[in-house]
Amino acid sequence: MKHYILALDQGTTSSRAILFDRAGQICASAAQEFPQHFPQSGWVEHDPNEIWNSQLTVARKVLHEHGVSGAQIAAIGIANQRETTLVWDRKSGEPIAPAIVWQDRRTADLCQQLRAEGKAKLIADASGLELDAYFSATKLKWLLDHVPGARERARRGALAFGTIDSWLTYKLTGQHVTDVSNASRTMLFNIHLMRWDSDLLHLFDIPEELLPQVVSSSEEVGTTHAALFGAEIPVAGIAGDQQAATFGQACMTPGMVKNTYGTGCFMLMHLGRHPVASHNRLLTTVGWRVDGATDYLLEGSVFMGGATVQWLRDGLGIISQSSEVEALAASVPDSGGVYMVPAFVGLGAPHWDPYARGTLVGLSRGSNRGHIARAALEAIAYQSAELMAAMQKDVAAAHRQIPLTEVRADGGAACNNMLMQFQADLLGVPVIRPTVTETTALGAAYLAGLAVGYWETQEEIRAQWRCERRFEPAMPEQRRLELMGQWQRAVERSRGWELPAD
């Protein structure tokens, strides 16, 4: 009997594997961190083989520790850190260079140049994305420009480009594919025509021979090599982590919003079958494609969410474990006027300032570790509140009557009660945490399960969603406006700090 779905959740700092049953409940899980590499300021890299080895290790571990054989797995679903870019040799399967991570800013100057040339509208109209180093296109161009012979090898069809979903699928099955959600994050994909865009490929000088086949988010794309898990298992679900989390949160009706508090923070609103163009520097992106129907999302991305807490731990050393931050922040009644803008790798939506850098303002002699910890947590909520304000403006401008009634929260930092309450206060609507907070993995599992008949319908999935805790807003409106005003002052002090190269 096929009892389980195996979800592979490949994130920016760790790889996870989770077994789900038919009730959408976690049966077993395993996780493993892998190294981050920072060759120089603004650069962030991963070793693709370290990613693969960590993902394979945890997948085998979760099966072994739960006493499950590969033959009992109905399908595998993959959710992945998006935009991270790698190129490998089709014959040897070896990467030609380290993967360039989504946080990497090495191509910021190229983006500034393209913006000055008036290319931003061409890119936004086709891809729905902001012209920024965040996305894969400029990263891929950089690799082809800087690895000797790479572009010529790419034109001969000797190389393969992929985001992490493509890399994992290739290692698992030998297939070179990506799903529509991940394709829509490359800045090379036309989200209206649902295909690679020839104008964008020309703009970035990307040979089409390099690109993966684009598939649906829920379909069987291949089976795993039998030696990996002792059986051939269908790989049947693929989605970028934030789209997967939106699906896992059952946000399948226009107007529903989820916010993931992971390494970054990612707020997504379901738009239905018709995209909405953003006028507030948000992203219009493909959510998923299931049974031939494409759902679109409006997204705001914050680069430093939970990673801000990691910096308190690894950079400042004021906590030894990330879980200690809530108690430290609670040791003071408020931030004492201290504001942290965690623009360590620039600012994401709605500012899109690659030259912003982290700032800590409002310090006095009375400031202590507790105030800094609290300011760090509050910064996560402030950034997310900015996204929601921009989202509501976009929806209103499009004359879409989509009332905001709640935000569904997930990700590691969603377990922080202080953060969730402060977020509800800033948004003015309830923030709801589900019983299963591993919604990224759950969404990948649902997409895979639908493809193989493990779950029959999306309605069945919707019925499985459960609330664990509801955080009601309690802050007076005037106080909320004061805090947001002070936050905006702090943001302005972080902007444009690192000047672009001449």
Is 241 marked as a binding-site residue?
Answer: yes
Cα-based torsion angle of the residue sequence 57, 61, 62, 64 in order, rounded to the nearest 10 degrees? 140
494 is in an annotated binding site: no
Task: Specify the pLDDT at position 335.
Answer: 92
Helices within 128-262 (DSSP H only): 136-146, 150-155, 164-173, 180-183, 198-204, 226-229, 241-248
| Mean pLDDT of all residues in 231-239 | 97
pLDDT of residue 500: 64
4 is in an annotated binding site: no
On whether 310 is known to bind a ligand per the annotation, the reply is yes
At residue 190, does pLDDT exceed 60?
A: yes
Distant-in-sequence, close-in-space partners of 479: CB < 8 Å, separation ≥ 6:
none
Q: Is 294 annotated as a binding residue?
A: no
Known binder of ligand: residue 138? no
Summarised one tens digit per residue, pLDDT across range 259-284 is 988 888 999 999 889 888 888 889 99
- Any binding-site annotation on 82? yes
- Distance in angstroms (rounded) separating the CA atoms of residues 497 and 494: 6
Nearest to 83 by CA among 136, 15, 12, 144: 136
Residue 83, annotated ligand binder?
Answer: yes
Joined tokens for residue 357: 């850098």
Neighbours of 476 (CB within 10 A): 10
Lateral strand order in the sheet of 407-410: 283-290, 293-302, 265-272, 257-261, 407-410, 431-434, 467-471
Question: What is the rounded average pLDDT of the residues 289-300?
Answer: 94
Task: Tell me 208's DSSP state.
Answer: G
Q: Which of 342, 345, 371, 344 is nearest to 487 (CA)?
A: 342
Which whole-number Å values give the CA distances from 78 to 224, 240, 307, 452, in the listed order? 13, 8, 22, 14
CA 458/CA 290 separation, integer angstroms: 10
In degrees and rounded to multiples of 5, residue 219 shows phi and psi of: -165, 155
pLDDT above 60 (res 502):
no
Supply the DSSP symbol for 347.
B
Between strands 195-196 and 234-240, the pairing is unpaired
pLDDT at 1 over 70: no
CB neighbours of residue 274 within 10 Å? 11
pLDDT tier for residue 501 given thresholds of 50, 70 and 90? low
Q: How confident is the model at residue 499 (pLDDT cuts 50, 70, 90)?
A: confident
Q: Tens digits of per-residue pLDDT, 386-421?
A: 999 999 888 888 777 777 788 999 888 898 999 999
Q: Is 127 helix (H, G, I), strand (E, B) or coil?
A: helix
467 is written with which tokens?
Answer: 């609330």
Give the residue-averaged pLDDT of 476-491.
95
Position 264 scores a pLDDT of 84
* pLDDT band (50, 70, 90) for residue 425: very high
Q: How confident is the model at residue 301 (pLDDT cuts 50, 70, 90)?
A: confident
Question: What pLDDT, on a 0 to 100 scale, did the predictor assign at position 473?
Answer: 96
Report the pLDDT value the prediction gives residue 359, as an integer from 0 to 100.
94
pLDDT band at 87 (very low <50, low <70, confident <90, very high): very high
Could you tell me which of 261, 262, 259, 237 has the C-alpha nearest to residue 246?
259
How far apart are the C-alpha atoms of 302 and 267, rounded to whole Å? Answer: 9
Neighbours of 373 (CB within 10 A): 28
287: enclosing H helix or E strand: strand 283-290
DSSP state of 313: I
47 assigned ligand-binding residue: no
Angle in degrees, 0-180, between the axes of helices 48-66 and 164-173, rounded to the nearest 10 = 60
Mean predicted confidence (pLDDT) in 453-471:
94
With vertex at residue 110, the alpha carbon angle to CA 108 and CA 111, rounded to the nearest 5 degrees, is 65
Task: List pLDDT tens digits, range 361-383.
Answer: 999 999 999 999 999 999 999 99
User: Beta strands 339-341 and 73-80: pairing type?
Assistant: unpaired
- The first and second tokens of residue 248, run together, are 């896992």
Mean pLDDT (whole number) for 185-212:
96
Mean pLDDT value of segment 39-51: 93
CA within 13 Å, CB half, 15: 24
- Name which residue leads in pLDDT, 53 or 318: 53
Q: What is the pLDDT of the chain when averaged over all its residues?
A: 93
Express each pLDDT in 236-245 by its tens digit: 999 999 999 9
Q: Give SS3 for 131.
A: coil
Return the SS3 of 315: helix
User: What is the average per-residue pLDDT within 1-29?
Assistant: 93
Closest CA to 101 of 184, 34, 19: 34
Tell me how long the chain is.
Answer: 502
The pLDDT value recorded for residue 305 is 87
Strand ranges inside 181-263, DSSP E: 189-190, 195-196, 213-215, 218-223, 234-240, 257-261
Q: Determine if residue 417 is labeled as part of a ligand binding site.
A: no
Q: Is 412 annotated as a binding residue?
A: yes
Residue 493 among known ligand-binding residues = no
| Ligand-binding site membership of 153 (annotated) | no
Can you tell me the mean pLDDT for 79-88?
96
Domains of the chain: 4-241 (3.30.420.40)
Residue 14 in marked binding region? yes
Least confident of 132-136, 144-148, 320-324: 320-324
Mean pLDDT score, 123-144: 94
Can you tell me the mean pLDDT for 156-166? 97
Using a CB cutoff of 8 Å and minimum separation of 24, what contacts does 271-276 make? 271/295, 271/296, 271/297, 271/298, 271/400, 272/296, 275/128, 275/191, 275/192, 276/394, 276/395, 276/398, 276/400
DSSP 49-114: HHHHHHHHHHHHHHHHHHT--GGGEEEEEEEE-SS-BEEEETTT--BSSPEEPTT--TTHHHHHHH
Mean pLDDT of 149-165: 96
Give, in order, the Cα–Cα distances in Å from 321 to each of 124, 317, 318.
40, 9, 9
